[in-house]
């Protein structure tokens, strides 16, 4: 989306918010003095004039605090947005009550105004969201775009344009690799090579070109840009950093110098406290409700195999802090960890599921995963009969609710790593340690085990950078059918 489109949408939202606040305050004053809700003040004649200035101040304060709450960034889900509206609105109302010393209005006016404005703001934003989606779905309002490059970056960009609401209409791709001719992503095909650019732009009335070949030579990029300039078609180039970082860049400007940086974690400050409170409440409830299952599982483990009920293992938590991780024991006592160590190395280095050229997998762990193509050890000889049943429904994970209560883990987050896994991490992989590990997470419900390790890490980092309480709830709800249908990780 163009920066002017973003500015226009934010300006529209700010004007909408300000107008609603202004109108709600005046409506509250009218309702207070009309006798509709409360009895009118005897002997007092109501005039709307004295309320106009405080209503204007209040509308301005709301918009300023909403901007501080990042409510115009478009990055929050509906639940998180409603919460931030309530928080920002409370601060604005308190600020006006404390600092404004003009017309003395009734406290009842404020009591009527507060629920009225919060309800109106939430409803209006949902209506505006639907309106914007309708505008973006109108072909006449969308910009027709071609992506040059059908590699990893080009396909990722194309997927974003197709799956997310935007003002772009993706026509297709261009790529100079003959093997990719006719290939498609969501019905958008590779239409030709960069040599066909001039012809295709004229034939399809293209509005914009996005060059998504980060490794392309500068001369080749300038040739494509030259065609765009000649035909007066807008163009954009995906930078080299994008190939590595994809959507995790943030941009700033100092004078006329553009700066790029990494987006930081969203689970900090108030968000951290909100997530922790949610974890404590829900984990306590789940622990109470699952207590009969916990007792039955413990008895079954104790009666069918020798050894302890619980499996305790050192795991790496937030910022590399070690903690004792709990599970129901599902393997025989004294099982060798060499299989899992070997498999972990193959997974991180991309060697599971076989190699190219028909070569055999390089280790026992990779061979165990080879037939199904998943990234977990299947047919593990160390697992007991009861352990296999518990694993099938992920009931062996239930003791981790205690880890959540202790503060070692969260209900949702990256899976806790074993120390020998972390030893193989690159610096980029270690970003998944920026928050508490979780019992379930984004990648577990976005493809479960059928993902490469790099894709898992990418989803973990995406979760850390875009966290919202609404997202946690969605992940937990999506985890339930994954468990019921035997697709647990």
Domain count across the chain: 3
Does residue 353 sit within a domain?
no
CATH code for the domain of 178 = 3.40.50.720
Domain check: are 149 and 122 in the same one?
Answer: no
CA distances from 333 to 201, 310, 376 (A): 67, 11, 20
Residues 314 and 165 in one domain: no
Residue 33 contacts residue 41 (beta carbons within 8 Å): yes
User: Does residue 153 sit in the same domain as residue 280?
Assistant: no
Backbone angles phi, psi at 6, to 5 degrees: -60, -45
The model's pTM is 0.52
Q: Which of helix, strand or coil describes residue 35?
A: coil
Whether residue 377 is contained in a domain is answered as no
What backbone phi and psi angles, to 5 degrees, belong to 354? 90, 170
Structure tokens at 210: 């996005």
Determine the Cα–Cα distance for residues 213 and 150; give it in Å rounded to an integer. 8
Query: Is 371 a domain residue?
Result: no
Residues 413 and 327 grouped into a single domain? yes
Residue 51 and residue 169 in one domain: no
Q: Which residues contact 25 (CB under 8 A, 6 or more apart)?
A: 51, 54, 55, 58, 59, 109, 113, 117
- Residue 295 included in any domain: yes
Q: What is the pLDDT along the chain (489 residues), one digit of tens a residue?
A: 445 566 777 888 889 999 999 998 888 888 877 665 555 555 456 677 778 888 888 888 888 888 877 788 766 777 778 888 888 888 877 776 666 655 566 667 778 888 898 899 989 988 888 887 777 666 666 788 999 989 888 888 888 888 776 678 889 999 988 889 888 888 899 999 988 988 998 898 888 888 888 767 777 888 888 888 888 888 888 766 554 454 455 655 544 555 555 566 788 888 898 899 999 999 999 999 999 999 999 999 989 888 899 999 999 999 899 999 999 998 887 655 555 566 565 666 555 544 333 343 444 444 444 333 334 555 566 788 888 888 888 888 999 999 999 999 999 999 999 998 888 888 878 889 999 999 998 887 875 456 778 888 888 988 998 888 888 999 999 888 767 665 544
Q: Are residues 390 and 467 in the same domain?
A: yes
Domain boundary among 136, 154, 189: 136
428 φ, ψ to 5°? -65, -40
Q: Is residue 347 part of a domain?
A: no
Domain containing 235: what range?
A: 141-251+258-262
71 with 148, same domain?
A: no
Asked if the structure places residue 190 within a domain, the reply is: yes
Q: Is the residue at 343 inside a domain?
A: no
Residue 454 maps to a domain? yes
Q: Which of 105, 136, 167 is the C-terminal boundary of a domain? A: 136
Q: How many CB atoms lie within 10 A of CB 189?
A: 15
Whether residue 121 is found in the same domain as residue 72: yes
282 and 243 part of one domain: no
Q: Are 176 and 206 found together in one domain?
A: yes
End residue of a domain, out of 115, 136, 157: 136
């Amino acid at each position: 989306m163009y920066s002017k489109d973003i500015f226009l949408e934010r300006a529209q939202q700010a004007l909408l918010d300000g107008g609603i606040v202004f109108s709600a305050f005046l409506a509250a004053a009218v309702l207070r003095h009309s006798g509709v809700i409360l009895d009118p003040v005897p002997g007092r004649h109501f005039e709307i004039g004295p309320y106009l200035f405080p209503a204007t101040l209040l509308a301005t304060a709301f918009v300023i605090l909403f901007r501080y709450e990042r409510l115009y960034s478009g990055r929050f889900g509906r639940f998180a947005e409603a919460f931030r509206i309530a928080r920002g609105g409370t601060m604005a109302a308190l600020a006006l009550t404390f600092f404004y010393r003009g017309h003395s209005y009734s406290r009842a006016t404020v009591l009527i105004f507060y629920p009225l404005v919060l309800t109106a703001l939430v409803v209006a934003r949902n209506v505006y969201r639907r309106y914007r989606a309708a505008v973006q779905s109108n072909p006449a309002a969308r910009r027709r775009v071609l992506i040059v490059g059908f590699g990893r970056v080009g396909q990722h960009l194309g997927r974003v344009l197709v799956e997310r609401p935007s003002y772009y209409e993706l026509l297709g791709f261009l790529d100079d690799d003959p093997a990719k001719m006719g290939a498609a992503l969501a019905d958008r095909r590779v239409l030709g090579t960069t040599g066909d650019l001039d012809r295709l732009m004229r034939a399809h009335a293209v509005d914009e070109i996005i060059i998504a070949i980060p490794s392309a030579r500068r001369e080749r990029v300038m040739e494509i840009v030259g065609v765009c300039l000649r035909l007066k078609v807008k163009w954009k180039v995906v930078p080299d950093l994008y190939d590595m970082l994809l959507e995790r860049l943030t941009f700033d400007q100092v004078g006329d110098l553009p700066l790029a940086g990494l987006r930081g974690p969203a689970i900090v400050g108030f968000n951290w406290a909100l997530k922790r409170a949610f974890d404590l409440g829900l984990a306590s409830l789940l622990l109470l409700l699952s207590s009969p299952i916990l007792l039955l599982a413990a008895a079954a483990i104790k009666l069918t195999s020798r050894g302890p009920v619980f499996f305790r293992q050192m795991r790496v938590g937030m910022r590399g802090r070690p903690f004792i991780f709990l599970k129901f024991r599902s393997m025989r006592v004294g099982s060798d960890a060499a299989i899992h160590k070997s498999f972990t190395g193959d997974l991180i280095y991309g060697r599971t599921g076989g190699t190219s050229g028909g070569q055999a997998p390089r280790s026992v762990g990779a061979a165990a995963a080879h037939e199904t193509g998943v990234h977990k050890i299947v047919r593990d000889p160390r697992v007991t009969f009861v352990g296999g049943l518990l694993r099938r429904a992920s009931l062996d994970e239930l003791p981790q609710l205690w880890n959540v209560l202790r503060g070692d883990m969260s209900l949702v987050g990256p899976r806790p790593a074993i120390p020998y896994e972390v030893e193989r991490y690159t610096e980029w992989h270690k970003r998944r340690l920026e928050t508490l590990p979780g019992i379930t997470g984004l990648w577990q419900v976005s493809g479960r085990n059928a993902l490469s390790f790099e894709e898992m890490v990418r989803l973990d980092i995406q979760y850390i950078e875009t966290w919202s309480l609404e997202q946690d709830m969605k992940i937990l709800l999506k985890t339930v059918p994954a468990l019921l249908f035997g697709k647990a990780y």
